[in-house]
Structure formats: structure tokens, C-alpha cells
Amino acid sequence: MEQRQSVYMDHAATTPVRPEVVEAMLPYFTERFGNPSSLYALAREAKGAVEEARGRVAAAIGAEPEEVFFTSGGTEANNWAVRGVAETFRRRGDHIVTSAIEHHTVLHPCKTLEMQGYRVTYLPVDEFGRVDVGDAEEAITDTTVLVSVMAANNEIGTIQPIAEIGRVAYDRGVLFHTDAVQAIGSYPVDVDAMGTDLLALSAHKFGGPKGVGALYVRRGTRIAAFMDGGAQERGRRAGTENVPGIVGFGRAIEVAVAEMPRNSARLAAMRDRMIGTILDTVPDTRLNGHPAWRLANNVNVAFRYVEGESILLLLDAHGIAASSG
């Protein structure tokens, strides 16, 4: 029986782990299995691998290694940023500014905080899914403790004016967090250029393993610990480190950033060709998201009169994996 060829078109959801990443991880499942918190040689080897990966992640985003804290993924990193800042600065203020199209890992913590008495302003977006910098500035008050706007949207691919929003937050003395989970490997991520105090990452979005991510915390930024019960991650995130995952994370982000210029140009050309072909040949279609300020690997199109689920099932029947918004 002939095997059906498949086409994977859902890299916004997850990516296959790159062979070189798997190769880097494998020894830490077997002969280099030590617990980084112990003192003997096997443990020190594991600890060294964790710190090497921390350095690679930091270099990829223009940070210092001591500003990178490993987590179980982007969900934890975003939760930690939002809830940690809110808890730390409760006596100073109870107001958070975010956008209406954030990932649920930001929106749901905000909803939980609202039930605890915090106030949250949800910024609207324009027809392309972009936040207006003026709206962000107007929303900040004397009681605002955090502004959180994602770097790029995971569904429609729109890239936000993060550097401009970061400058507004800095000028008003408010911490700024961005969810950069979708951005790595698609366009340059630099914490200083973005003006961000907290930044979330997830390895499986750029060829790394699932179950590992990081939160960048700018030096001097006060934020409550996410979990208690251990001294790992300098006492801010308890729990034995996922050494193989962290090693894979470090290797994946290193490769993704190194290959970004070439890959982004190639993907953007494919993206634009696909968008143009769909809009020119399929009636009643519309591009969602910004036509220019969008991720190189993102195509999001609306088909009038047709449910997204029906299209996905038809594509799946032809061996094409995709998602709807």
C-alpha cells in the first residue's frame, strides 16, 4: 500500500525537534543524568550543561545569563510574569494593561487577578490586529504596575510595535512584559531594543523540545517567586531542572537565531506567494492580520460562507495539517 504524503503547516502550534537538538539532548537522558543540585562530578556536569544553555538563550535575546530563568514552557513564563508582578506590587497599584488578543496564558491570569480585585484594561486592536501605541499610553495610570503586549500574535501573525510600547512603559515607570513565544527564529528579538523587563519563550516553537521555556527578568526587576520548595533558578523557581530539555532549548535557539536571516527570507517569499494565490483564485477570501507587519511563517485567511473546521477536515483528508483561529 502506497504511503500518503503529508504536509505539516502548523508550526505556530509546535515544530519537530531538530536532529542536532535531539543529538545534544540524548546524553543527558543516559550517561549524563546527574541532578544539577548535587555536588559530585556527575551533578556538576549536568549543572554545567544547564548554565551553558542559559548562556545560549541569553545571547540569543541580548540578555545576561543571570537574567534567564528556565520554566516548563511559555504558559508558565507568562503566568509567572503577570501574576508575579501583580503580587509583588499590590501595595503600589492594582492595574494591568494588556491587549484584547493576547494568548490565553496572559488573558486567563488577568481574568483571575480581576476576580481578586485587580483592574485590567484590555487594549483594542485595529483591523490588522495591531495595538495603537497612543491607546497604550492613555491606558496607563498612577496605579498601573504592568503593561503586557505580545511580540507577535500566534494566530494571525501580526507583529506589534513592541519597542514603541516599551518606551512608553519605561517613560511612565511601569514594568513591561512581552510574550515572545512566536517571535524567535522569525525576526530579531533583543530585550534592550524592545525595552522589555520580562519576556517569555518556549523551546518547542523553534525546533526544541516540548515542556521547557524561559522567562527573561531584567536585572533589578522585582518579581515574586513562581514556586517554592527548592533553591533552583536562584530561588525563584523551585523544582529539579529538566536538564535534557534545557540543553535542547539552548541548542535550538542557537540554531534558530543563526539561520533566521536565510530562513525568514525564504519563508516570507513562500508566505506571500501562498497569500497571493489564495486571494487571487479563491472567491470570498480575506487575509487576516497585517499584510506587511506579520511573521514570515504565518498565513491566516478567512473563507466566507465556510466553517474553518470543515476546511481543516478536508485538508486533513488530503494529508495537510493546519489549524483555524
- Residue 2 located in a structural domain: no
Q: Which of 193, 226, 237, 309 is nearest to 69 (CA)?
A: 237
- Residue 98 located in a structural domain: yes
Q: Both 271 and 156 in a single domain?
A: no
Phi, psi of 217 (to 5 degrees): -125, 110
**Average pLDDT for 119-139:** 98
Q: Both 288 and 183 in a single domain?
A: no
Q: Are 237 and 191 in contact (CB under 8 A)?
A: no
Percent of the chain with pLDDT over 90: 96
Q: Both 67 and 202 in a single domain?
A: yes
Q: Both 115 and 241 in a single domain?
A: yes
Q: Both 202 and 223 in a single domain?
A: yes
Q: Are 211 and 73 in contact (CB under 8 A)?
A: yes
- The pTM assigned to this predicted structure is 0.95
Q: Which of 101, 86, 187 is nearest to 143 (CA)?
A: 86
Reported as a single tens digit per residue, the pLDDT across 16-72 is: 999 999 999 999 999 999 999 999 999 999 999 999 999 999 999 999 999 999 999
Terminal-to-terminal C-alpha distance of the chain: 35
| Domain termination residue (choose one: 255, 280, 299) | 255
Percent of the chain with pLDDT over 70: 99
Q: Both 264 and 167 in a single domain?
A: no
Beta bridge partners of 97: 121, 147
Reported as a single tens digit per residue, the pLDDT across 243-268 is: 999 999 999 999 999 999 999 999 99
**Average pLDDT for 303-319:** 93
Which CATH number goes with the domain that contains 42?
A: 3.40.640.10
Q: Encode the chain in three state secondary structure.
A: CCCCCCEECCCCCCCCCCHHHHHHHHHHHCCCCCCCCCCCHHHHHHHHHHHHHHHHHHHHHCCCHHHEEEECCHHHHHHHHHHHHHHHCCCCCCEEEEECCCCHHHHHHHHHHHHCCCEEEEECECCCCCECHHHHHHHCCCCEEEEECCCECCCCCEECCHHHHHHHHHHCCCEEEEECCCCCCCCCCCHHHHCCCEEEEEHHHCCCCCCCEEEEECCCCCCCCCECCCCCHHHCECCCCCHHHHHHHHHHHHHHHHHHHHHHHHHHHHHHHHHHHHHHHCCCEEECCCCCCECCCCCCEEECCCCHHHHHHHHHHCCEECCCC
Q: Both 165 and 314 in a single domain?
A: no
Q: Both 219 and 205 in a single domain?
A: yes
Beta bridge partners of 152: 159
**Average pLDDT for 191-198:** 98
- Give the domain range for residue 288: 7-15+260-321
Q: Give me the number of domains the chain comprises.
A: 2
| Domain termination residue (choose one: 255, 271, 294) | 255
Q: Both 266 and 118 in a single domain?
A: no
Which CATH number goes with the domain that contains 309?
A: 3.90.1150.10
Q: What is the pLDDT of residue 3?
A: 62
Q: Both 73 and 181 in a single domain?
A: yes
Neighbours of 165 (CB within 10 A): 27
Q: What is the pLDDT of residue 5?
A: 83
**Average pLDDT for 150-175:** 97
Average pLDDT in the chain: 96
What angle, rounded to 10 degrees, do the helices at 41-61 and 243-281 form?
A: 30
Neighbours of 227 (CB within 10 A): 15
Q: Both 312 and 187 in a single domain?
A: no
Listed in sequence order, the residues at least 6 apart from 35 whose beta carbon sits closer than 8 Å to its beta carbon are 43, 46, 240
Rounded to whole angstroms, the Cα distance separating 128 from 107 reads 20
Residue 91, C-alpha cell as written in the block: 501595595
| Domain termination residue (choose one: 225, 255, 285) | 255
Q: Are 157 and 295 in contact (CB under 8 A)?
A: yes
